[in-house]
Homo-oligomer: A and B are copies of this chain.
Amino acid sequence: MAIKAAIMGYGNLGRGVEKAISRAEDMELVGVFTRRDPAGVKVDSGAKAYHVDALEGMKDDIDILIICGGSATDLPEMTPKYAALFNVIDSFDTHANIPVHFANVDEAAKKAGKIGIISCGWDPGMFSLNRLYAHSVLPGGKDYTFWGKGVSQGHSDAIRRIEGVADARQYTVPVPEALDSVRRGDNPELTTRQKHTRLCYVVAKEGADKDKITEEIVNMPNYFADYDTTVNFITAEEMARDHSGLPHGGSVIYSGSTGDGTNKHVIEYSLKLDSNPEFTGSVLVAYARAAVRMNKAGDCGAKTVFDIAPAMLSPLSGEEIRAHML
């Protein structure tokens, strides 16, 4: 019987999850839940849109609720709330608050006998897995994470809030020399500025002061001040033509040694993604499958990618994965 999945929140990530469910032969989409008026929400696959208030009455119709909200305010509230009713999964990525979020979801999920997977996607998610595997296999080494080249939606939004900016896209770009040094196993100490640069494409409103916009961007604390930032002004047409996608990616590189330290080893995991939300959605769907299976096997509580055996992600049997992938 197919796994009945539902999506809470229908933005870029919700749409990515929807596409991933359409590729999962063992899963069907029950519907999309939204805080907006569902009559105004057009679901790409034709699945039904419901108001979020309908969720409580659908306890028996949903095996897993995939929560596609923001980490700042949505997920801290939503994930524990719905873990009391459903198996749930989210992509919570505010690192400092993971312990509290984990504890809240754990309490609600255990009380309800459900599984709640948090912080799932590619970082946190697939990148985290690779940090853990590498540290476990080669203790005492050092991990480096590089992001990009890819669009940071948070940084793009920050630029859009500047006066005189009509549209903006910000790419995070790893510094090639830093990447090379880490890949060689040099184990360098790298500052923020030495690891990534920031490349911005901005459409200015008519008559806007471009120098002032540039100054505001490159000096913006937290977002840009600690980086070498390049600002390019382009037209709205160029923005639409060249920057409409949401590509991303990056690398986790781990460098460690064995024995007395003379033998060095470099482990690298890297992603090149045409669509960040579609790939993140695909990771969520694979782990949604795991959540349902683990719960059926009697497990409950909060989980992360660390707690989940890889075989749980695959629709194939143990025999099949041993035959084809071992």
Contact = CB atoms under 8 A, between A and B. Distances in A.
B271 A265 contact: yes
A271 B130 CA distance: 12
A279 B306 contact: no
Interface of A: 16, 19-20, 22-25, 95, 98-99, 102, 119, 124, 126, 128-133, 135-140, 143, 185, 245, 258-259, 262-275, 278-279, 281-283, 286, 304-311, 313-315, 318-319, 321-323, 325-326
Contacts of A259: 19, 22, 275, 278
A102 B322 CA distance: 9
Contacts of A119: 326
Contacts of A126: 133, 137, 267
Among A119, A136, A274, max chain B CB count under 10 A is at A136
A314 B271 contact: no
A314 B24 contact: no
A129 B326 CA distance: 8
Contact of A265 (B22, B133, B265, B272): B272
Contacts of A139: 23-25, 315
Contacts of A325: 128, 131-132, 135, 143, 306
A272 B278 contact: no
B266 A269 contact: no
A269 B269 contact: yes
Contacts of A245: 263
A263 B185 CA distance: 33
12 contacts: A19-B259, A25-B139, A128-B325, A135-B314, A137-B279, A245-B263, A263-B278, A264-B274, A267-B271, A306-B318, A306-B322, A308-B309
Among A95, A278, A283, max chain B CB count under 10 A is at A278
Which 10 pairs, one residue from A and one from B, show the smallest C-beta to C-beta distance? A136-B313, A258-B278, A263-B274, A306-B311, A263-B275, A19-B259, A131-B325, A266-B272, A136-B314, A136-B286
Contact of A313 (B133, B185, B265): B133
A265 B258 contact: no
A183 to B, nearest CB: 8
